[in-house]
Structure 1
Amino acid sequence: MARLPNENIDIELFQDDFKYIDQEFFPSVVSIFSFIFICYKEYLLITEEATFAYGEGICSWLSLKHDMAKPQRISCLDDMKIVQVDSGWNFVAIITDDGKVFIASDFYSKWKTNKTLQLISNDNDQFKMIACGDSHLLLLRQDGHVFAMGSNCYGQITGNKTSSYESMIHIDNLENVELIACGAFHSLSTTNKGKIYSWGLNHWGQLGYGDENKRNTPCLVPFPNSDSSCIKDIVAGMYHSLFLFENGQLWGCGSNYHGELGLSDNIGRSTPTKIPIENVQQIACSKFGRFSFAHDGSLYYAWGKTKHGPNWSSPRKLDDSHSSFASVSVQVLDSPITFGITSTIYKFGSHDSISYKSTFQLFDNQDNYDVEFIIDKKIIKACKYYLKSVSEYYRRMFSGNWSENNQVIINDYSYETYYAYLHMLHTGKIHITRQNITELVDLSNCYGDEKLMGYCKTFIRSDLNKHTISIYHPLIRKYEMNELHDKLIHLDQNHRQSSTKRSKFFKIFFV
């Protein structure tokens, strides 16, 4: 059991926030983390080589000088692989792939990190997950034990202990923990046996015990779902909690004043209640927000407090132009939010939305289709006539003996990749990532789509470096991408030279 992988977000969502930065910087950015500090957006921009701070707040926390035109390099993180970032009201926490946890905070906060990125874990403690509340931090160690720091004013750390901003407190009665999450002032966790625990502030019933009494030690949530052993994910908003199960059911409890539970009213629930949406795959909300997001694998849903007048008291299905929760947040909240560290993607294709406006109505339209593509028991609807007009491959497919075939089973490509390809044929745009590049290259070669192959080559060229050479070397060789050979050879030679130097160093050092 593990939290779902980080989302891929379109970097164009942040074009207004980054408009003063040299645009040549962005192709090197692989991940983004954004957070709010005193109404201002702050960012961490992560490349393969380094991590950069952007924003007056985060720069001041790290003794860096903010420059609107230039993100500031955090040199102490050079060559470290960051796997998770989270933030509270006036602090940010970072965890690396070797289990180290760092904190930076506002100079006037109680964390007292002295305008540096402070290491709070030691060599004996390796952590695999962090979660920040408004003013507290949970840390999940590799062995399943949980530790906490920060404010304990509502028992969100544990016990009758006072707040602890300088040392970690071990939460004694939690073992074999798999997931942790924080609302503003409450904490959640799940174990490898599927048990759900909560503690902290409970004024709105967000702990799920059927009352509004706070708990200062983790207590087992009496979940009404008999299949609660199959918990998939937990997230927490400011005053509500969401629980996602492997069967796609979503449950929630806590404040519902703004409709954040999606139950078509504004009445809170102090026991977990099923939210009327099925086949949910991913969920998101913010410890500082009163909204909820969900994704069923193809479409996104939102409910709760928005920036556009009345609250949405029940899940609202959004149009299929969205590809991430960050994209959804722009529509619902007017500003892109990254829910944790998120990988960047780049759009390829035409920017002429007018020319594709009518053809987009022919894609996956329940009321207008004559062929179904079936992938992993999922269906994508389309029109043969249009596909034949834009693709020689489909012209051949739907001619002769295939002309009357109304269903096509696809076994060679994943649903997500095939959906992205058909979406490109109707809209002119496609999102290419490291996760789908191999399938897209193979598909473009098999279908003879030179335009898609060109997009793939452009993506590979921009993403090809010493860290990704093992990913792209087989593709470049197999599909004879001759125009990329020079860069590949150059990187390969540098890699060999670097390896030779390291080998000589070790021989000298150890002999």
Structure 2
Amino acid sequence: MMILSTALSLCRRTQAQIHMEDEPPPQGVSAKALEATLLSALKMLDVGKWPIFSLCSPEEIKLIRQACVFGSAGNEVLYATENHEVFVLGMNCSGCLGTGDMQSTIEPRRLDSLCGKKIACLSYGSGPHVVLATEEGEVYTWGHNAYSQLGNGTTNHGFIPCQVSTNLVNKKVIEVACGSHHSMVLTSDGEVYTWGYNNSGQVGSGSTANQPIPRRVTSCLQNKIVVNIACGQMCSMAVVENGEVYVWGYNGNGQLGLGSSGNQPTPCRIAALQGIRVQRVACGYAHTLVLTDEGQIYAWGANSYGQLGTGNKSNQSYPTTVIVDKDRVVEIAACHSAHTSAAKTQSGQVYMWGQCRGQSVTFPHLTHFACTDDVFACFATPAVMWRLLSVEPDDHLTVAQSLKKEFDNPETADLKFLVDGKYIHVHKVLLKIRCEHFRSVLNNDDEIIEMSEFSYPVYRAFLEYLYTDNIRLPPEDAIGLLDLATLYRENRLKKLCQQTIKQGICEENAIALLSAAVKYEAQDLEEFCFRFCINHLTVVTQTQGFADMDHDLLKNFISKASRVGAFRN
């Protein structure tokens, strides 16, 4: 356990770093094969922001189509591959990985009992326990079970996924939700079933006795068709088809939105939302968000971190309007393990508020993210997923993805660069749009341009950068690209080259990189390389690069090293 904990704390590889490790497409591959490869890559999940995925190889990550990071510190993950195989890895607290034991693992382990079953949705509790529904509507549970939250009639922990069938026979489950130690599912005919911990009435049975098996929540939901469910730590919510919201369970922070702080053992309609048609509900640890059919957000409950987005830290027991943007909101996000809130607008802007990296953000803050999932990966504590993250089901490509796909595609290109005897296929109009150099030198009648100033890897990387905004080169080749960036006055590319060089510096290449930084007048990079050389002076001075060092550079290096006391005993 200690080894895994240490490994997880050290794993911080970003998705950008994973991309940097990918090799450029091989030469001689057909355009259709290249397109298929690129399209497959575009269907990868962007999971690199969650540290636990640093335990997976790039090859494993490319196969992932669904994933959920969970646990008290984001130290467990379940994922499904493109052929519906299911794997888990992590700490395995309370047997929550479903591997049949409580052994932690830094290597993905396959869950044979779930392989071949298409996962529709998944949720998790604090124990943790896991509740999963398949596309066929079957429910499987495993993990912590001290409060019967697995729904199997016992309080024994479940070390392997087992189907929950009691009272769910012939029922198709379409949505699942977990509180800290209770579980809830929604069936295709609009019925809600709950089980588990019930100290505050969170299973909605009318009592506070724990519920060992699934039972339908009735009371005022008896004749209602429920379309959405959610759980806070110790409360439950349901949205019915006419947009009304029903709540039950713990209410000490006003998270039920009833205007009081008393617990509610059976479902109760939120009267303050009369006339407002709610589409979705999302629960944090002790706060609640709802999204209306007009794209507005209402919030209530605990607010010690600003998670209601009202500009203060006062709890609210009544629904309060959250001002996100003039644009319509299309998605809200929260999870019961965090005090963080997020929303996405119709134009694609993502906002966050609440507890963000230990800070309290009391107003919705515009982020640079493209999805609400990234908010929880980068700013929530713990860094878990608020939902099962899946690849988009359609094949629609964004403008950026379409441009990336067309790089070096001979079927659509109207210009070829001949470098070191190899062709690189590009599009004149894109080059002119993206690069001032090409705008001034390209002619409409150009079909082939020979390039001898730079090597093939360097020039290919440059052209690919114009299509993708990223570079993929080892640090030694990035020196040549830095030369090109300087010549073409591409300042952003110059910065990317410097970052790549910094990430790849070592004792063997430190002097070569220092020389390049001096040559191309990259002062920040020069200072970085110099400090590296000083910190590894004994090894660096024994390398061939140091022995071959330019006389003037050596003289300046020794002088500067002396000034910082590198040669003192």
TM-score (norm 1): 0.63
Matched, 1:112 2:182: no
Displacement of 1:223 in angstroms is 2.9
Pairwise CA distance, 1:388: 4.5
Matching residue within 320, 326, 337 for 2:384:
337
Alignment partner, residue 325 of structure 1: 372
1:94 maps onto 2:132 in alignment:
yes
Equivalents in 1 of 2:391, 2:299: separation in Å?
30
CA contact (8 A) 1:21 1:68 kept: no
Of residues 192, 202, 213, the one that matches 1:156 is 202
Name the SS for the 1:328 alignment partner.
helix
From 166, 169, 174, the equivalent of 2:212 is: 166
Quote the residue 2:268 is aligned against.
Answer: 219
Q: Can you list the C-alpha shifts for 1:168-221, whole angstroms capped at 9, x where unaligned?
A: 121113121111111111111111111111111111111111111111110110
**1:207 alignment partner in structure 2:** 256
C-alpha deviations, 1:246-288, integer Å up to 9, x for none? 2111001111121111111111111101011231111111102
Aligned to 2:413: none
Alpha-carbon spacing, 1:133–1:387, altered in 2? closer, same or farther (3 Å): farther
- Structure 1 residue 238: Cα displacement: 1.1
Distance 1:148 1:272, change over 3 A: same
Q: How many residues align?
A: 356
Q: Out of 330-339 and 164-173, give the one that drifted further.
A: 330-339
**C-alpha deviation, 1:326, in angstroms:** 2.7
Q: What amino acid maps onto 1:49 in structure 2? A: H
**Aligned residues of 1:238 and 1:286 also touching (Cα < 8 A):** yes
Change (3 A) 1:312 1:65: closer
Q: 1:314 to 1:9 in 2, by over 3 A?
A: farther
The one of 136, 139, 142 equivalent to 2:182 is: 136
Equivalent residues of 1:212, 1:270 under 8 A apart: yes
Show CA shifts across 1:345-365 (max 9, x none): 899999xxxxxxxxxxxxxxx
Structure 1 residues 197, 335: CA separation in 2 closer, same or farther (over 3 Å shift)? closer
After superposition, residues 209-248 of structure 1 pair within 5 angstroms as 209-224=258-273, 226=275, 228-229=276-277, 231-248=278-295
What does 1:250-265 correspond to in 2, within 5 Å? 250-265=297-312
> Structure 1 residue 83 and structure 2 residue 129: aligned?
no
1:44 partner letter: L
Q: What amino acid maps onto 1:128 in structure 2? A: I
SS of the residue 1:137 aligns to: strand
The code of the aligned residue for 1:26 comes to I
**CA offset at residue 163 of structure 1?**
3.7
Which position in structure 2 is the counterpart of 1:189?
A: 238
1-structure distance, mates of 2:84, 2:242: 39
In structure 2, what is the equivalent of residue 45 of structure 1? 79
Asked if 1:272 is matched to 2:319, the reply is yes
Question: % of aligned pairs identical?
Answer: 24
1:32 is aligned to 2:58? no
| Separation in 1, partners of 2:193, 2:379 | 34
Which residue in the other structure is 1:381 paired with?
Answer: none
1: CA distance between counterparts of 2:430 and 2:468? 9
Mind listing any 5+ residue stretches in structure 2 that lack a counterpart? 1-42, 149-154, 402-428, 440-464, 472-569
Partner amino acid, structure 1, of 2:301: G
2:203 maps to a residue whose letter is I
* Contact 2:180–2:336, Cα closer than 8 Å, also in 1: yes
What is the Cα deviation at residue 293 of structure 1? 0.6
Q: Match of 1:75, SS? A: coil
Q: Secondary structure at the match of 1:12?
A: coil
Which residue in the other structure is 1:12 paired with? 48
Gaps spanning 5+ residues in structure 1: where? 1-6, 351-384, 396-422, 430-511
Match of 1:176 in 2: 225
1:55-74 superposed matches below 5 A: 55-57=90-92, 60-61=95-96, 62=98, 63-64=100-101, 66=103, 68-74=105-111
Contact 2:180 2:234 in 1 (8 A): yes
CA change 1:162–1:302 in 2 (3 A) is same
Structure 1 residue ranges (4+ consecutive) displaced by more than 6 angstroms after TM superposition: 345-350
Matches within 5 A, 1:351-430: 388-390=432-434, 427-428=469-470
Which has the higher Rg, Structure 1 or Structure 2? 2
- 1:343 CA drift (Å): 1.8
Is the Cα contact below 8 Å between 2:297 and 2:321 reproduced in 1?
yes
Partner of 1:326, secondary structure, is: helix
CA distance in 1, matches of 2:44, 2:292: 22
Deviation per CA, 1:268-321: give whole Å up to 9, x if none. Answer: 111101011231111111102112111114211111112244x111111113xx
Which residue of structure 2 aligns with residue 304 of structure 1? 354
Post-superposition Cα deviations, 1:351-401, rounded to whole Å, max 9, x if no partner, equal xxxxxxxxxxxxxxxxxxxxxxxxxxxxxxxxxx99852399xx9xxxxxx
Does the 8 A contact of 1:326 with 1:336 survive in 2? no
1:65–1:50 CA distance, 2 compared to 1 (3 A): farther
Measured at CA, do residues 113 and 67 of structure 1 come closer, stay the same or move farther in structure 2, by a change above 3 Å? Answer: closer
Q: Is the 8 A contact 1:183 1:237 kept in 2?
A: yes
Q: In structure 2, give the amino acid aligned to 1:237.
A: G
Q: What residue number does 1:434 align with?
A: none
Q: 1:21 to 1:332 in 2, by over 3 A?
A: closer
What's the CA shift for 1:127? 1.2
Amino acid at match of 1:71: P
Could you list the per-position Cα deviations for residues 55-94 of structure 1 after superposition, in whole angstroms to 9, with x for gaps in the alignment? Answer: 1316934215757452111111121001001000120100
Q: Does the residue aligned with 1:143 lie in a helix, a strand or coil? A: coil
Which has the bigger relative contact order, CA under 8 A and spacing at least 6?
Answer: 1
Query: Closer, same or farther in 2 for the Cα pair 1:127/1:20, shift >3 Å?
Result: closer
Query: 2:329 aligned with 1:285, yes or no?
Result: no
Question: Alpha-carbon deviation of 1:128?
Answer: 1.1
DSSP-derived class of the 1:234 partner: strand
Which secondary structure does the structure 2 equivalent of 1:10 belong to? coil
Shift of residue 239, structure 1, vs aligned partner: 1.0
Deviation at 1:236, TM superposition (A): 0.7
Contact 1:51/1:73 (8 A) holds in 2: yes
